[in-house]
């Protein structure tokens, strides 16, 4: 009798251990699937939170990012006033030459073009992300904003960014750090968008590269009437 009881205890113990191991494995699989799904979010990039970049920008100046691509030049007025953290992080990476030679790894029809990934496939980042400012009025045509995973906090910005090239950008929730607006060369960005694959979203069908990103700063008194009017007509923030 005692032997049978001991055998039953061993059987129950083994069953309990098996249940615990099974539950643990299910949890791991679920987390892995979740990460994989987040990695393909509509405007995503791998990143984790960190401290803001140490860059000092003069809020009295107008900063413009000149993005030279193999399809032409895109100029973006950066929003130092409303998005100092996002702008400073972008400027630091650009001035360090981080973006030079990288690709536009994603083109999405009537939506966005996305670049800034050192891996070239949407999985990479700088390794020094920040949590920057998000807008309250979404992402109108020409917006420059940071890509992130669905699991990241709102406003997370590692290195990947997107430019809104179509009407679908306005449907995005206010979760992505926005720090600039195209003032020249939107047609260039749309040429890259036109390289979207037949599915409508994915790697461009032809090579599209970021040859360089240069940052210039101009004091308000030094701006020409043309540049002031250009900003006003594009609705730059």
Q: Above 50 in pLDDT, residue 226?
A: no
pLDDT digits (tens, 9 = 90+) for 119-174: 999 999 999 999 999 999 999 999 999 999 999 999 999 999 999 999 999 999 99
Q: Is residue 39 part of a domain?
A: no
Q: Is residue 43 part of a domain?
A: no
Q: Is residue 198 part of a domain?
A: yes
Locate 232 and state its tokens.
């006003």
Q: Kindly report the CATH number assigned to the domain that includes residue 198.
A: 2.40.100.10
Please report the sign of the dihedral spanned by the C-alpha atoms of residue 46, residue 52, residue 55, residue 56. Answer: positive
Mean pLDDT calculated for residue range 51-77:
86
Q: Is residue 146 part of a domain?
A: yes
Q: Is residue 112 part of a domain?
A: yes
Q: Mean pLDDT, the chain, as a whole number? A: 79
Q: Is residue 157 part of a domain?
A: yes
Q: Which domain holds residue 113?
A: 61-234
Q: Cα(156)–Cα(205) distance, rounded to whole angstroms?
A: 29
Q: Is residue 54 part of a domain?
A: no
Q: Cα(114)–Cα(6) distance, rounded to whole angstroms?
A: 64
Q: Is residue 5 part of a domain?
A: no
How many domains, in total, are found in the chain? 1
pLDDT digits (tens, 9 = 90+) for 161-192: 999 999 999 999 999 999 999 999 999 999 99
């Amino acid at each position: 009798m005692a032997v049978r009881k001991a055998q039953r205890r061993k059987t129950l113990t083994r069953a309990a251990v098996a249940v615990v191991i099974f539950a643990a494995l299910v949890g791991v699989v679920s987390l892995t699937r979740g990460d994989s799904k987040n990695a393909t979010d509509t405007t995503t990039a791998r990143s984790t939170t960190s401290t803001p970049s140490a860059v000092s920008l003069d809020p009295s100046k107008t900063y413009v990012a000149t993005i030279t691509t193999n399809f032409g030049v895109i100029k973006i007025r950066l929003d130092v006033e409303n998005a100092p953290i996002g702008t400073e992080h972008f400027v630091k990476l650009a001035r360090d030459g981080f973006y030079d030679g990288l690709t536009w790894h994603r083109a999405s029809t009537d939506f966005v073009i996305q670049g800034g990934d050192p891996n070239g496939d949407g999985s990479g980042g700088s390794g020094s992300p920040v949590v920057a400012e998000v807008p309250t009025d979404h992402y109108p045509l020409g917006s420059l904003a940071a890509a992130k995973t669905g699991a990241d906090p709102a406003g997370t910005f590692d290195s990947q960014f997107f430019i809104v090239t179509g009407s679908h950008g306005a449907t995005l929730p206010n979760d992505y750090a926005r720090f600039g607006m195209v003032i020249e060369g939107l047609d260039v960005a749309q040429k890259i968008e036109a390289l979207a694959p037949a599915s409508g979203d994915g790697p461009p069908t032809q090579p599209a590269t970021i040859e360089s990103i240069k940052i210039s700063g101009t004091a308000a008194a030094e701006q020409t009437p043309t540049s002031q009017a250009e900003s006003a007509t594009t609705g730059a923030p």
